[in-house]
Structure formats: structure tokens, C-alpha cells
Amino acid sequence: MKKLVFKILSVLLVLTLALWLALSYSRADALVGKAVRGTASDAVTGSAKVYANADIKVKTEVEGRIAEIPVDLGKAVKKGDAIMVLASDELNGEIRANVVQLKAAREKLRLPLPEETDLANLQDQLDRLKKQVEFGQASKADLEKGQRDLDKLQTTIAYRKIERDEQAALFEATVARLQARLARMTVKCPMDGTVIEQYKWPGDYVWTGNEIFRVASTGRWIELTLAEEDCAGVEAGQKAVVRLASYPDTTFNGTVTGLAAFSNSDNKTRAVFLSVDAPDAVLVPGLTGEGVLTRSEHANTVLVPRRALFGDRVYVVKNGRIDIRKVKTGFVGLDAAEIVSGVTAGETVVLEGQSALRRGQKVNAVTEGAE
């Protein structure tokens, strides 16, 4: 019995020794990369959307039938350009008629009233009557009646002048009102920009307040929506990079101009505003994408690929064997991680399969991308 146990233990010892030797001299392949010196970034990501500096819907101020739309959808317009004209033949006729009446009323103001001639004659008669009363050739009653007739005529003349002034003023006000209405029948663009939507066409009848165009101003900005916790440390002047779905191979550099004054409590987000240097024709309002905002940077620091981190460990290949290092990290991004201590620049680090490796194991270092 003892001999059997001894034989079994001997076999197990031989097998263990053989396995140890096999593992010691076998080399597993390990996909590796390099620790390098570079700039570590504390960056956060969020969804991005393009907006125009101003985006308004242009409305009519008067009613009428559209006679002309002298702009094209999608084309640039300048502030003050006519973008819609209402039919105005009837109104123009009314203006001409009132202008004629105004001119006549003003001519009348230059002419003396017929009563003014009677007033002069009546004044002469009253003067003669006063002398007659002095010589006893007329009674005081006759003089008083003459004075009353003179006062009455003067009052009548004053009223007639007021009426003529009033009539001229009314025609003048009517012409001004009609001309103002005529001016409002030509709708002008309120700003430099682009016509991006059209709601009415020539021949349509429009009422006061109807929307006819949507105009986006020149100048663009981007809203970057971040999670509330990612907004800590965000401030004006920080840099961001935006990639839009319509331009997947192009990045746009932006600068933070400010943060929204409030957060969205429903989805726990807050908007960050970016200025972007890109043509308006490229940054079409409404485009969406993703953005990366850099809150802080550490220059000339050790960086390893993000995949090299295995918890708080990095597996280093040194002299063909695995060395497991405990590391202290700094900024950790999507693609790279800053190593404050534990790994130095130039060392080779394992990128995947760390759980299958052990300290001291021999490996064949396979550089990522190598054939």
C-alpha cells in the first residue's frame, strides 16, 4: 500500500515538474503598445447641435394678396432686402386721390376767405358809424348792432380758417397713413441671413400676422449638452472639438463662451455654449453630432493606451517577461490614461488579455497593427 502511494506521489511530482517546465519555456503572444510622453486631457463628452445666432419667422403686418416674392429659398439675404410684396394697385389709387385733395386743401390755405373782404367793408362801416354817433347823426343802438355784426363775422372767419386747417391736416394724415400701409405691404428682411423655410407663395392671400418666411441670421454657435456632473470646472475660454453627423471625417474647433443659467432637471443635463470658426454654409442650423470639451491638461506626462489599464495595474513586458505594476493614474480619457507613477515612458505595456497572464511569464510581444 505504501509503495502504491509513493508511486502516485512520484507521478504527480513528475507531472507538476513537467508542467512547470512547459510553462516556464512556453511563450504566449501578448498584444502590446508603448508608454509615451504627451499631453493628458481631462475631457468630457456630450451631444452637440448647431444654432444660428438668430432664427426668426417673418410675419406680415397688413393683409393682402401676394404679388411678388423676390427671394429664393435657401439663398442669402441682406438686412432691408424686400422679401415679399403685396398687390397695391387699389391702395395706390386711393393715395393718389388723397394727394390731390391734400394739394387742393393746401392751395386754399394760401387764399383769403371771401368773408375777409366783407370783414373789411364792415369795419369801414363801423368806423363811419362811430363818427356819426359823435355828431348825433346815428344812435348808440345802431353802433352796438354794427359792433355785434363785426364780432360775428370775425368769429365766422376764425371758424372757417380752423375748418380749412383741419381739412388739410386730415388729408395729410390720411396720405401718411396710406403711405405707411403701402410701405408695410413690402416686407423687408430684418437681418442678414438665409431664407431657410417658406410658408406662402405669390397669389396667396395673407392676413395680418401670417408667417411667410423663416430666416436664419449669419453667424453660428453650438450647444453642447453635458451631464450635470461633467459641468464642474467648465468655464469660458476652454477648448472643445465637435464632430457632426453630416461631416463624419471633419472636426470643428470650438471655444466655450458660457454655460446655461439653469440645468434640465428632467434629464440631469446642462447646456454649454460654443463659438465655432466655420462657414455658415457648412454649419447648417439643426445639424447634430458629438463634442469633446477639454477642462484641463497636463503637458509632458506619461501616457498609456486606455486598454493598458487593468484596474489599478498595468502589465509591462520587460526582458520578454510579464511584470505587473501597481500604478497611480491622473486624467483618464477614452483613448489614453495618464500614469503619475508606476510606468515610465518608453516601456512596453500589454493592451489585452491581462487576466490570462501572470508575473514572470514569458511572452511574445506583438505590436498592435503589426502584421
- For the segment 244-288, what is each residue's pLDDT rounded down to a tens digit? 999 999 999 999 999 999 999 999 999 999 999 899 989 999 999
The pLDDT score that the predictor gives to residue 127 is 87
In the prediction, which pLDDT does 49 show? 97
Using an 8 Å Cβ cutoff, are 70 and 85 in contact? yes
Indicate if the alpha-carbon torsion angle 339, 343, 346, 349 is positive or negative: negative
Q: How many residues does the chain have?
A: 371
Above 80 in pLDDT, residue 11? no
- pLDDT 10s digits, 158-201: 999 999 999 999 999 999 999 999 999 999 999 999 999 999 99
What pLDDT score does 250 carry?
93
User: 131 pLDDT band (50/70/90 cuts)?
Assistant: confident
Instruction: Give the cell for residue 55.
Output: 432664427
Segment 281-307 mean pLDDT: 93
Strands 64-68 and 82-86: antiparallel
Q: Please give the pLDDT value at position 27.
A: 74
Q: Taking every pair of C-alpha atoms in the chain, what is the biggest distance, in angstroms?
A: 183
Burial 66-99 (b: 16+ CB within 10 A, else e): beebebeeeeebeeeeebbbbbbeebeebbeebb
The residue type of 287 is: L
- Separation of alpha carbons 364 and 354, rounded Å: 14
For residue 14, the model assigns a pLDDT of: 60
What phi and psi, each to the nearest 5 degrees, are found at residue 45? -115, 155
Task: Find residue 240's DSSP bridge partners.
Answer: 254, 293
| Cα angle value 283/285/288 (rounded, 5°) | 80
Asked if the model's pLDDT at residue 16 lies above 60, the reply is yes
User: How much is the pLDDT for 139?
Assistant: 87
**More confident site: 253 or 1:** 253
Percent above pLDDT 70 for the chain: 92
Closest listed residue to residue 224, CA positions, set 46, 62, 89: 46
Question: Taking 90 as the threshold, does the pLDDT of residue 100 lie above it?
Answer: yes
- pLDDT of residue 99 exceeding 70: yes
- Write down the mean pLDDT value for the chain: 90
Residue-by-residue DSSP string for 239-280 = EEEEEETT-TT--EEEEEEEEEEEEETTTTEEEEEEEE-S-T
Query: What is the mean pLDDT of the segment spanning 86-112?
Result: 92
Q: How far are the Cα atoms of 192, 216, 240, 259 from residue 281, in angstroms, in the given order?
A: 14, 11, 21, 26
Asked if pLDDT for residue 366 goes beyond 70, the answer is yes
| Residue pair 274/254 in contact by the 8 Å Cβ criterion | yes
Which of the residue ranges 21-25, 320-324, 364-368 has the most confident prediction, judged by mean pLDDT?
Answer: 320-324
Q: pLDDT per residue over 45-75, tens digit each?
A: 999 999 999 999 999 999 999 999 999 998 8
Per-residue pLDDT of 189-247, as tens digits, reads 999 999 999 999 999 999 999 999 999 999 999 999 999 999 999 999 999 999 999 99
The pLDDT assigned to 9 comes to 63
The arrangement of strands across the sheet holding 205-206 comes to: 186-188, 82-86, 64-68, 205-206
Q: How far is CA 331 from the centre of its chain?
A: 33
